[in-house]
């Protein structure tokens, strides 16, 4: 753990009366520990609006931004959020540049004293910060100044090593600002000790909330009280300055505390209705008389529960009710017995942790109690009760759904004549898991703010605060434990961290998680031209585009606008144009900033360059791709005077359609876009009679697998524009010699027999099954011989030797029979 340093004692809390300055010396008998006047009146602000001014100089430790001011504002806001209380602050920035002072000057400053100009911090002061409070004789606060000791200590807003958290320290000091003294509740925000990089004081304990409900009650809000008197067991006289604590049995939390007056009387005010245990505990550490403005403080007695330490009483109080517990008798312990600390001080839900207690008189075998649901002392007689082990330690298991908050730790020892107790009020804090930020989407936005973003992560809690850099987001919505939505604040151009702070003060930070952009920059538009009819999908390239941006093409808005997450591209669809020619393209970010690419897009008439195929059957049905430019969805295509069917818009460069039936011969092909623009390709398509092609022979019937063999195909019904395929691969250099002859060059192929196909533009085709054989090129074979009438192969030939002419006739007969049995397939392409 970091070394703990004493947090401030209120330096000069005084009232103004004819210029006199009076120190705080008295104590009241109300809940928590409250500043009071010498006459016993508690301090409070009488106005419904409590002013403060954050000095513009800020902290020397946090240069370059305003995050310390934001942290201070969040601290003030936390005190405003207490249910049943009417605390309301109002920042007055009009004097933020005036010289700050810690005395009565009409302005309640919050500032960092970097050189001890105030003289409040003597020597190498261990005081981290302090608050001076000025008040009148009735206890009404008229001014307060909150001063950070910037000379002797370092502060940060990002939990930098070796620094105190500004928000945590400010939250503590604002308690003094409101009239609240230090508390004896170990884990409470008003505990008199501060730790480096500690965020726990950002939240408020129920002790501080009880103070707010009692001293600054909301109209119509109810609050409950428990009253009584702490007396000495011997003579029944009152015990002044005793610390009295109420423990909520429903949650196990420390609910509130009080200090008895000189007669031993106490009132624990600001409670919620419920069942409680009440005990008296001396301020003998970690909070002592030196940490509070209370006199006298009695510490010479042992901890005692109402009803006795063995079987404490349950004190039930209704909402808005007040209950007296009568007298609570205390006596000195038989020997030194004290509980002053625990390590660790906080445990997360779902953890099992070994806790080590600190104090005097603690020993193995003593009974330890940790009350409330969701807590199990490992090896104990019951979930909430166990036995101390060696080193005054015990193991505790925290359920995943255990209520969060401060739990009291109680240790009992049997003296033979009864049970003596020691307690550490609010000794252990049960925490929820810390939040985690995984992503921010979109990750960029305009510098003027107002962009809605989604923050993804884990363990977000309803009521979380979101910061973009040093400024809080607005309209924060908790959607679930992994999702928050927020509206960005205004910010300077550049990247900032995105911070989520849960209500318990724990935070998660996404470093550089959001980028504030300046004016958009538009570099190029792709494509840069298209039809007047619109409907073309564009991609705009540039930078600093923000989600929600709009695009103008000329004077008309583009549709289907989508901004990429990196802010470098926008996709959109063009609107219809007014007339052909170049127009400006404008990108407008949500904050109104814009950039224009002059003449960035040109509306143009369509053009038609080619069709594929360019011929087809007179009966129609050919599936044709039309190539050109500036085509548009919803266009119409004509083959001659007949309308094509099945039109598909592929892009502004290609349309596809099915040719209608037409007369033999060439016809014009026309594209008409929805705006009436026309593109015509004269004689662009040729209708041919649907003649069935037939293949009779292919020669040569074999060739190299490398391709390049010129083959001659004989048959009938071949038409201009026919294609030749060898094993399904298109041949090259196809030449129609006549309707009965066509030549082509084979493509590369795999060794073996393959089919040859002639396909006319009408779609009808002929297939020569296995009419061509791919052979592997060879460098030649040497001769071989053998006795007994063996055969030989001439080098580089496939001829059979003359010695076996009967083999040739057998092979020819078998081949002829196989071909006749298979025949030839003719017909339309499937």
Q: What are 765-789's pLDDT values in tens digits?
A: 999 999 999 999 865 444 333 333 3
Per-residue model confidence (pLDDT) at position 827: 36
Binning pLDDT at 50, 70 and 90, where does residue 242 land? very high
Prior bond of 296 cis (ω within 30°) = yes
Alpha-carbon dihedral angle through residues 207, 212, 213, 215, given to the nearest 10 degrees: 120
Q: Is pLDDT at 805 greater than 50 in this prediction?
A: no
Cβ contact 429:326 at 8 Å = no
Among 601, 597, 579, residue whose Cα is nearest residue 588: 597
3-state secondary structure 643-687: ECEEEEEEECCEEEEECCCCCCEEEEEEEECCCCCEEEEEEEEEE
- Nearest Cα to Cα of residue 9 among 168, 200, 175: 175
On the question of a cis peptide bond just before residue 613, with omega within 30 degrees of 0, the verdict is yes
d(CA 120, CA 127): 9
**Cα–Cα distance, 491 to 68 (Å, whole number):** 16
Cβ atoms of 414 and 407 closer than 8 Å: no
pLDDT of residue 269: 97
Label residue 325 exposed, middle or buried (CB < 10 Å: 0-12, 13-18, 19+): buried
Q: State both tokens at 211.
A: 């103070």
Res. 470: pLDDT tops 60:
yes
**Residue-level pLDDT at 32:** 64
User: In what helix (H) or strand (E) does residue 163 lie, and over which residues does it extend?
Assistant: none
CB under 8 Å to 676, separation ≥6 — which residues? none
> Cα separations (Å) of 780 from 552, 776, 794, 795?
73, 11, 9, 5
Q: How confident is the model at residue 37 (pLDDT cuts 50, 70, 90)?
A: confident
Tokens 């936005």 map to which residue? Answer: 445
Residues counted in the chain: 830
CA-based nearest residue to 189, from 36, 87, 300, 75: 75
CA 425 to chain centroid, in Å, comes to: 37
CB atoms under 10 Å from CB of 823, counted, come to 8
Query: What angle in degrees, to the nearest 10, is found between the helix axes of 166-177 and 67-80?
Result: 50
Q: How far apart are CA 669 and CA 614, in angstroms?
A: 10
**For range 248-267, the mean pLDDT:** 96
| Confidence at residue 779, expressed as pLDDT on a 0 to 100 scale | 54
Specify whether the CB–CB gap between 134 and 104 falls below 8 A.
yes
Token reading at 347: 């445990």
Residue 49 and residue 80 in contact, taking contact as beta carbons nearer than 8 Å: no
- How confident is the model over 114-151, as pLDDT tens digits? 999 999 999 888 999 999 999 999 999 999 999 999 99
Burial 543-557 (b: 16+ CB within 10 A, else e): bbbbbbbebbbbeee
CB neighbours (10 Å) of residue 523?
Answer: 12
The candidate with the shortest Cα–Cα distance to 736, out of 719, 715, 757, is: 719
Is residue 5 scored above 70 in pLDDT?
A: no
Q: Are 425 and 339 in contact (CB under 8 A)?
A: no
Predicted confidence band at 760 (pLDDT cuts at 50, 70, 90)? confident
Per-residue pLDDT, 719: 86
**Is 585 a residue whose pLDDT tops 70?**
yes
Q: Are 687 and 665 in contact (CB under 8 A)?
A: yes
**Ramachandran quadrant class, 179 (left: phi over 0; alpha: psi -120 to 50; beta: rest):** left
Specify burial of residue 705 (Cβ count, 10 A radius: 0-12, 13-18, 19+).
Answer: middle
As a dihedral over the C-alpha atoms of residue 622, residue 623, residue 629, residue 632, rounded to 10 degrees, the angle is 110
Give Cα 355 to chain centroid, integer Å. Answer: 34
The three-class DSSP label of residue 255 is: strand
Helix (H, G, I), strand (E, B) or coil at 819: helix
Positive/negative CA dihedral, 665, 668, 672, 676: negative
CA neighbor of 793 nearest in space, from 783, 803, 807: 783
Give the containing element (helix H, strand E) for 458. Answer: strand 452-458
Which pLDDT score, from 0 to 100, does residue 215 have? 97
With cut-offs at 50, 70 and 90, classify the pLDDT of residue 64: confident
360 with 336: CB under 8 angstroms? yes
**CA 208 – CA 33 distance, rounded (Å):** 10
Distance between CA atoms of 596 and 586, rounded to whole angstroms?
A: 4
The pair of three-digit structure tokens given for residue 339, joined into one six-digit string: 């509980």
- Give the mean model confidence (pLDDT) for residues 159-169: 97
What Rg value do the Cα atoms of the chain yield, rounded? 46
Tokens of 261: 């007056």
Task: State how far Cα 727 lies from the chain centre.
Answer: 57
Say what percent of the chain tops pLDDT 90.
81
Q: Are strands 741-745 and 710-716 parallel, antiparallel or unpaired?
A: antiparallel
The model's pLDDT over 593-644, given as tens digits with 9 standing for 90+, comes to: 999 999 999 999 999 999 999 988 898 999 999 999 999 999 999 999 999 9
pLDDT tens digits for range 555-583: 999 999 999 988 999 999 999 999 999 99
Mean pLDDT of the chain: 89
Domains (range + CATH), the chain? 4-215 (3.40.390.10), 224-330 (2.60.40.10), 338-431 (2.60.40.10), 440-517 (2.60.40.10), 521-604 (2.60.40.10), 607-688 (2.60.40.10), 694-780+798-822 (2.60.40.10)
**Residue 388 CB: number of other CB atoms within 10 A?**
20
* pLDDT, tens only, 404-413: 999 999 999 9
Q: Which two tokens stand for residue 86?
A: 């009417």
> What is 283-334 written as a DSSP string?
-BSSSBGGGSS-S-----S-BEETT-SSSPPPEEE-TT-EEEEEEEEE---S
Q: Confidence band (pLDDT; 50, 70, 90) for 812?
A: very low
pLDDT at 123: 86
Residue 679: pLDDT above 90?
yes
pLDDT band for position 688 (50/70/90)? confident
Phi, psi of 221 (to 5 degrees): -80, 140
Relative to beta strand 129-135, strand 14-15 is parallel
Residue 532 phi/psi, 5° resolution? -60, -30
Q: State whether residue 482 is helix, strand or coil.
A: coil
Q: For the residues 235-247, what does the mean pLDDT come to?
A: 97
The CB density around residue 651, as the number of other CB atoms within 10 Å, is: 12
Cα–chain-centroid distance for residue 292?
Answer: 43
What is the per-residue pLDDT across 65-113, written as a single tens digit (0 to 9) for each?
899 999 999 999 999 999 999 999 999 999 999 999 878 889 999 999 9
pLDDT at 792: 28
């Amino acid at each position: 753990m970091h070394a703990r340093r004493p947090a401030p004692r209120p330096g000069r809390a005084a009232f103004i009366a004819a210029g006199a300055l009076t120190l705080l010396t008295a104590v009241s008998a109300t809940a928590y520990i409250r500043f009071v006047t010498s006459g016993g009146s508690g301090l409070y602000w009488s106005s419904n609006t409590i002013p403060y001014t954050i000095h513009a100089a800020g902290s020397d430790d946090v240069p370059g931004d305003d995050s310390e001011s934001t942290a201070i504002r969040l601290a003030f806001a936390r005190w405003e959020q207490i249910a049943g209380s009417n605390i309301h602050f109002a920042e007055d920035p009009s004097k933020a540049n005036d010289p700050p002072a810690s005395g009565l000057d009409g302005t309640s400053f919050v500032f960092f004293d970097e050189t001890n100009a105030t003289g409040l911090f003597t020597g190498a002061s261990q005081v981290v910060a302090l608050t001076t409070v000025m008040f009148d004789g009735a206890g009404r606060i008229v001014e307060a100044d909150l001063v950070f000791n910037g000379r002797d200590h370092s502060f940060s807003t990002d939990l930098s090593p070796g620094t105190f958290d500004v928000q945590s320290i400010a939250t503590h000091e604002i308690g003094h600002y409101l009239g609240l003294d230090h508390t004896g509740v170990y884990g409470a925000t008003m505990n008199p000790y501060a730790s480096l990089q500690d965020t726990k004081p950002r939240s408020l304990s129920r002790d501080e909330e009880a103070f707010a409900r009692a001293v600054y009650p909301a109209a119509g809000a109810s609050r409950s009280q428990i009253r009584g008197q702490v007396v000495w067991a011997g003579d029944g006289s009152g015990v002044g300055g005793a610390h009295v604590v109420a423990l909520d049995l429903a949650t196990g939390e420390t609910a509130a505390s009080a200090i008895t007056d000189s007669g031993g009387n106490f009132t624990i005010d600001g409670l919620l209705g419920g069942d409680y245990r009440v005990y008296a505990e001396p301020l003998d550490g970690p909070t002592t008389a030196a940490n509070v403005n209370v006199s006298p403080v009695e510490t010479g007695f042992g901890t005692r529960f109402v009803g006795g330490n063995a079987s404490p009483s349950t004190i039930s109080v209704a909402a808005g009710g007040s209950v007296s517990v009568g007298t609570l008798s205390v006596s000195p312990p038989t020997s030194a017995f004290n509980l002053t600390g625990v390590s660790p001080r906080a445990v997360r839900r779902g953890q099992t942790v070994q806790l080590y207690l600190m104090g005097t008189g603690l020993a193995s075998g003593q009974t330890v109690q940790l009350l409330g649901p969701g807590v199990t002392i490992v090896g104990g007689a019951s979930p909430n009760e166990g036995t101390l082990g060696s080193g005054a330690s015990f193991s505790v298991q925290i359920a995943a759904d255990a209520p969060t908050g401060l739990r009291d730790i109680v240790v009992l020892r049997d003296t033979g004549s009864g049970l003596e107790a020691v307690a550490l009020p609010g000794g252990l804090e049960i925490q929820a898991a810390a939040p985690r930020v995984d992503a921010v989407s979109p990750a960029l936005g305009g510098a003027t703010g107002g962009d809605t973003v989604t923050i993804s992560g884990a363990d977000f809690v309803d009521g979380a605060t979101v910061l973009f850099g040093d400024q809080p987001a607005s309209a924060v919505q908790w959607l679930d434990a992994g999702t928050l939505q927020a509206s960005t604040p205004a910010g300077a151009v550049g990247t900032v961290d995105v911070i989520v702070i849960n209500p318990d003060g724990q935070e998660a930070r996404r470093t550089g998680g959001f980028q504030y952009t300046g004016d958009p920059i538009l570099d190029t538009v792709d494509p840069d031209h298209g039809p007047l009819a619109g409907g073309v999908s564009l991609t705009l390239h540039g930078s600093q585009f923000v989600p929600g941006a709009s695009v103008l093409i000329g004077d008309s808005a583009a549709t289907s606008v989508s901004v990429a997450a990196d802010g470098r591209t926008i996709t959109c669809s063009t609107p219809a144009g007014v007339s052909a020619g170049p127009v400006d393209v404008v990108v407008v970010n949500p904050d109104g900033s814009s950039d224009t690419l002059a003449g960035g897009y040109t509306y143009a008439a369509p053009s038609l360059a080619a069709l594929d195929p360019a011929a087809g059957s007179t009966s129609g049905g050919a599936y044709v791709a039309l190539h050109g430019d500036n085509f548009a969805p919803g266009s119409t295509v004509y083959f001659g005077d007949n309308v094509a069917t099945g039109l598909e818009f592929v892009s502004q460069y290609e349309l596809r359609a099915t040719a209608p039936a037409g007369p033999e011969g060439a016809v014009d092909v026309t594209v008409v876009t929805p705006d009436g623009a026309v593109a015509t390709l004269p004689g662009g398509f040729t209708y041919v009679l649907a003649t069935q092609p037939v293949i009779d022979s292919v020669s040569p019937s074999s060739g190299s697998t490398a391709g390049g063999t010129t083959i001659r195909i004989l048959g009938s019904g071949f038409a201009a524009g026919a294609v030749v395929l060898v094993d399904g691969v298109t041949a090259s250099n196809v030449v129609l010699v006549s309707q009965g002859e066509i030549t082509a060059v084979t493509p590369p192929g795999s060794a073996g027999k393959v089919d040859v196909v002639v396909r006319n533009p009408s779609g009808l085709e002929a297939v020569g099954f296995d009419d061509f054989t791919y052979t592997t090129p060879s460098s030649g074979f040497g001769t071989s011989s053998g006795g007994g009438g063996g055969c030989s192969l001439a080098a580089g030939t496939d001829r059979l030797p003359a010695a076996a002419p009967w083999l040739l006739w057998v092979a020819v007969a078998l081949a002829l029979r196989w071909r006749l049995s298979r025949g030839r397939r003719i017909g339309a392409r499937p």
